């Protein structure tokens, strides 16, 4: 054989050519390491999408809690408004309750005086004493509510608290002095309720 004929043909296994890779296997790199196949677009976007959905869910939960707190605050304000309105209504209805309790004994005294006047043998003096007692009781009841009597006889005329019914001349009396009180006036806590009706010197 010639020299060329003595060259042995290498087998396909010793040729060093890479073996075909099956379609289901991962490609192998030059160093024998398995190369990771590139991720598809849906897999690459999965993490950002999940994060966004979690954030939206958190914001929706916070919004729902804030809305609930707002509703509770509005309900509490409405309850406060109703309680305040009820308190005002009760104050209007029962504001004079204490005054009535103070005046009732005066009413009782007047009724007792009328019954006594119907009995035989009751003198004028007894009726007078009973009337004076009733008057003192009424004055005491009014005083507890800061009601003051205005009786300006012989005092200077005060147009803020007195109402002149007439004017008269009188010797020895300075002009503008109250000569006579036709009807006493009254004030409540310093506020004029009724002026005193007076006669003034001129």
Q: How far apart are CA 171 and CA 28, in angstroms?
A: 139
Mean pLDDT of the chain: 81
Q: For the whole model, what pTM was predicted?
A: 0.56
Tell me if 89 is assigned to some domain. Answer: no
Tell me if 161 is assigned to some domain. Answer: yes
Structure confidence by residue, pLDDT tens digits, 24-76: 444 555 555 545 555 555 554 557 788 888 888 888 888 988 988 999 999 99
Q: How far apart are CA 160 and CA 25, in angstroms?
A: 113
Number of domains in the chain: 1
Q: Which residue has the higher pLDDT, 20 or 148?
A: 148
Count of CA atoms in the C-beta half-sphere (13 A) of 38: 2
Specify whether the CB–CB gap between 145 and 122 falls below 8 A. Answer: no
Task: Give the pLDDT mean for 136-161.
Answer: 94
Tell me if 192 is assigned to some domain. Answer: yes
Q: DSSP string covering 81-122, please?
A: HHHHHHHHHHHHHHTTHHHHHHHHHHHHHHHHHHHHHTSTT-
Q: How confident is the model at residue 183 (pLDDT cuts 50, 70, 90)?
A: very high
Report the CATH number that the domain containing residue 153 is assigned in CATH: 2.30.22.10
Q: Which two tokens stand for residue 184?
A: 């006493």
Tell me if 191 is assigned to some domain. Answer: yes
Domain enclosing residue 153, as ranges:
147-202
Tell me if 43 is assigned to some domain. Answer: no
Tell me if 180 is assigned to some domain. Answer: yes
Tell me if 111 is assigned to some domain. Answer: no
Tell me if 5 is assigned to some domain. Answer: no
What proportion of the chain, given as a percentage, has pLDDT over 90?
Answer: 48
């Amino acid at each position: 054989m010639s020299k060329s004929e003595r060259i042995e043909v290498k087998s396909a296994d010793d040729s060093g050519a890479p073996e075909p890779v099956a379609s289901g296997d991962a490609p192998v790199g030059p160093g024998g390491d398995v190369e990771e196949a590139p991720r598809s677009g849906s897999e690459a976007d999965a993490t950002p999408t999940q994060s966004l959905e979690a954030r939206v869910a958190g914001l929706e939960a916070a919004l729902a809690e804030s809305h609930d707190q707002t509703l509770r605050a509005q309900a509490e304000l409405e309850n406060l408004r109703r309680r305040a309105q009820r308190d005002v209504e009760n104050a209007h209805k029962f504001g004079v309750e204490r005054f009535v309790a103070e005046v009732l004994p005066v009413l009782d005294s007047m009724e007792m005086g009328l019954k006594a006047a119907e009995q035989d043998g009751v003198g004028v003096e007894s009726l007078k004493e009973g009337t004076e007692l009733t008057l003192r009781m009424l004055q005491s009841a009014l005083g507890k509510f800061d009601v003051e009597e205005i009786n300006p006889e012989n005092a200077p005329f005060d147009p803020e608290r007195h109402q002149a019914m007439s004017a008269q001349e009188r010797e020895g009396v300075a002009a503008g002095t109250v000569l006579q009180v036709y009807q006493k006036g009254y004030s409540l806590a310093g506020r004029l309720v009724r002026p005193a009706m007076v006669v003034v010197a001129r």
